[in-house]
Chains A and B, each alone.
Chain A
Amino acid sequence: MTITASPPLRRRRSPRARRDAWRGWGYAAPTAAFVLFVFILPLLLVLQMSGSDWPLLGGNQGLNLPDNYVDAATHRLFWNSIGFTITYTVITTVLLIGLGLGLALLVQESTRWKSLMRTAFLIPSALGLASASLLFYVIYSPYAGPFADLMKAWGFTFLGSPQGALFSTVFLIVWRYAGFYMLLMLVGLQGIPDDVYEAARIDGASRWQTFRDITVPLLRPTFALTTVMCVTGSLLAFEQFYILTKGGPDNSTMTVVQLIYNVAFQGQNDLGVAAALSVIVLAALIVINIFQLRAFRRPDES
């Protein structure tokens, strides 16, 4: 969030101006306190933790730099998890944005039938991600799921191979989020003025030309928003993999956040190294977001 400061004043401030300034601070105080306590302080604590020898059982044992960062970067699953997280992010981002736009174009007009479809596409988004993951855990289950007999007959399991586990999880995410991205795209589409399309029609543009030269360029801000959201969300993927695959089989679906969780709570129990990993991920996310926003900037903004 940004705090816009009042412009510097040349004259000495009247008592009223001073009162107004205090009032302004008063209005901002609750939010400022909130940000301080739930964002800035934890962040500082993580920074401190990432520089300390801090086992889960035993508390802060003092400074441990640069060992934590070295251990984090040389963890046997560090590059694996980064590679997998990027692969997963590319797949989900392409699928969700493509599908979101496709669905939005399908249900753009407000006929009764299409409004119904719109609602249907959106329903999965009402489920929490953890609940949706548990639902799919049962669907994919080789014992209890509806496909159990089929899996037995064909000798495969949804989550049993690295590719299977990846695409089964991607399918869950697409099912859960496609409607939500459709909604964002719809908002973007509705923001495009009708007279632009009118003009294109008069000029005899084909449907494809209209889509390519009008819809896509004018959706740029929407693409920027959805891409940043999707990329950030996917890079931080945790719940779906924690519930469906636990990073398996053979650590093939280990995302970065899961690695952080495992280092902190499952085995290594080293909060210092986990915090160092978190700081590395945070730095990477900031850099990625800066590049993304820059890429989507309108030419006249640069």
Chain B
Amino acid sequence: MTRIGRRRRSAIALVAAGALMVGLAACSGGGNSAAPAASIPANGTDDGTNLTLWTRAPLEKQAKLLVAEYNKTHKNQVELTVVPNDDYVAKVGAAAGSGGLPDLFAADIVYVPNWVKQGLFQDISKQIDGLSYKDTINKGHLAAGTYEGKEHVLPFVLDLSMMFWNKELFTEAGLDPDTPPANLAEFAADAKKIQALGKDGVYGTATGLNCGGCLVFTWFPSVWADGKQVMNDDGTKSLMNSDTAKAVYSTWADLWKSGAVLPSSKDESGATWTAGFTEGKVGLMFYPATLLSSTPFDAGVAGIPGPNGGSSTFVGGDGIGISKDSKNAAQAWNFLSWMMSEDAQVGVLAKDHDVVSRSDLAENQYTAKDPRLVTINKVAGEGDTPVALNFQQAFNAPGSPWVTLVRDAVLNDKGTVDADNDAITQILQQ
């Protein structure tokens, strides 16, 4: 073989590789505009189509109940896929790139603004506008899914952060089991009293100090309860260095120093952050309302107080919409419109002690039996859902600047709140 031949051959190989690459790249180009759903009947179509639905593990219980009930009562059949929390974004991203998204998928409500902007959901404004009870649907979730005036997402499962307390431990510590702490100082004092019981393995309170998601979920409400904001209106500037926020950090720093916080809270990255309370080993904590039904003892429930009292909640959970890749928009809408109906909201969610996402159904046959549900539903109206395009990177991601801020303020006592807050703002502005 001659030299020239070799060179030419490698040139051909390079060209071939280049051509292949361009071909590959052409396949992976993502569209950025979701086609609006075609003309769909008000209740969608129920014609025996198989639909696919993805959700993340923390909402598995509610998703399973909803899907089971829908499949029992409809010709369409929904196939549910539950994805581990940490892998969800990557899985959705990969599927979005290759046009392989399921018909319906749920998303953590704080990611929804970004995903809607990326065109992952179809525009369902027309269908939502056609719902007679549209004004009763949770505003925070609807707003998160609204982009350029078009609605894309409905609330799938609402998860609210509430203050839960273990009545038995309260009684043992000489506290009134029916009176929750009215502000953060009282919260801390109660936690220390329970700590002072000196019971083996029992701690005053617990939190997830290495879990950005847990921290926004349970600490933002203390800021809102004071009438302050966590970010500016368009989600490009962090306000987590306000005096109110600093009072929240110093309360927790003092609690941590006093030893009244479950020690594993320090490294808790979110997988087991609620376990201590559920096992009856924690006196009181800010905790997800979705776990009310799986709390096996008598727990009190109230809104999350701020440094000066008041109460608020983080309206979290997941929104759900029809994906850009779905060819069954009419059938998928049938599932969504059923999901918003009284049958599903009361007959499935309220029955399971979950929060309904329609205010007109907040009082129903099940809340009558459990006044705690009334409390939760009432606080839901006072709560908030922060909206920012880069929320995940700024707050929720492992090792995010928000996690750094909290750890510096609470564990390391560095006095760097202002600088750390600037780091959050920097990411919000990207």
Q: Using a CB–CB distance below 8 Å, which chain A residues touch chain B?
A: 5-6, 8-9, 21, 36, 40-41, 44-45, 48, 55-61, 76-77, 142-143, 152, 155, 157, 159-160, 246-251, 254, 262, 264-269
Contacts and interface: CB of A to CB of B under 8 A. Distances in A.
A152 B281 CA distance: 14
A267 B17 contact: no
Interface string B172-207: 000000000000000000000000000001000000
A71 to B, nearest CB: 9
24 contacts: A8-B1, A8-B3, A9-B1, A44-B21, A55-B118, A56-B89, A57-B30, A57-B120, A58-B32, A61-B32, A76-B401, A142-B263, A142-B267, A143-B264, A157-B263, A157-B267, A159-B267, A160-B266, A247-B399, A248-B267, A249-B210, A250-B403, A266-B89, A267-B396
Contacts of B2: 8-9
Interface in B264-295: 264, 266-267, 269, 272, 275
B351 interface: no
Contacts of B97: 56-57, 59
A36 to B, nearest CB: 7
Interface string B394-420: 001111110110010000100000000
A267 B397 contact: yes
Contacts of A262: 397-399
A57 to B, nearest CB: 4
A77 B399 contact: yes
A265 B1 contact: no
A159 B403 CA distance: 17
Contacts of B364: none
B366 interface: no
B6 interface: yes
Contact of A60 (B28, B263, B275): B28
A9 B398 CA distance: 61
Contact of B1 (A21, A36, A55, A246): A21
B17 A40 contact: yes
Nearest to B398: A246
B57 interface: no
Contact of A5 (B1, B398, B407): B1
Nearest to B276: A143
Q: Report the contact-size class of chain B (Cβ under 8 Å from the partner).
A: 35 or more
B423 A76 contact: yes
Interface of B: 1-3, 6, 13, 17-18, 20-21, 24-25, 28-32, 86, 89-90, 92-93, 96-97, 114-115, 118-120, 201, 210, 263-264, 266-267, 269, 272, 275, 392-393, 396-401, 403-404, 407, 412, 423
B118 A57 contact: yes
B249 to A, nearest CB: 16
Contacts of A55: 118
Nearest to A32: B13
A250 B407 contact: yes
A119 to B, nearest CB: 36
B400 A267 contact: yes
A77 B403 CA distance: 14
B210 A152 contact: no
A268 B428 CA distance: 11
Shortest Cβ-Cβ A-B pairs, 7 listed: A59-B30, A267-B397, A56-B93, A267-B393, A265-B90, A251-B399, A57-B118
Which of B272, B393, B399 counts the most chain A CB atoms within 10 A?
Answer: B399
Given A48-B25, A59-B28, A262-B398, 8 more contacts: A9-B2, A40-B17, A45-B21, A76-B401, A246-B269, A251-B404, A265-B89, A268-B393
Contacts of A59: 28-31, 96-97
A160 B17 contact: no
Contacts of A60: 25, 28-30
Given A58-B30, A58-B96, A60-B29, A157 B264 contact: yes
Contact of B269 (A36, A248, A268): A248
A60 B28 CA distance: 7
A41 B20 contact: yes
Contacts of A48: 21, 25
Nearest to B259: A155
Contacts of A143: 264, 272, 275
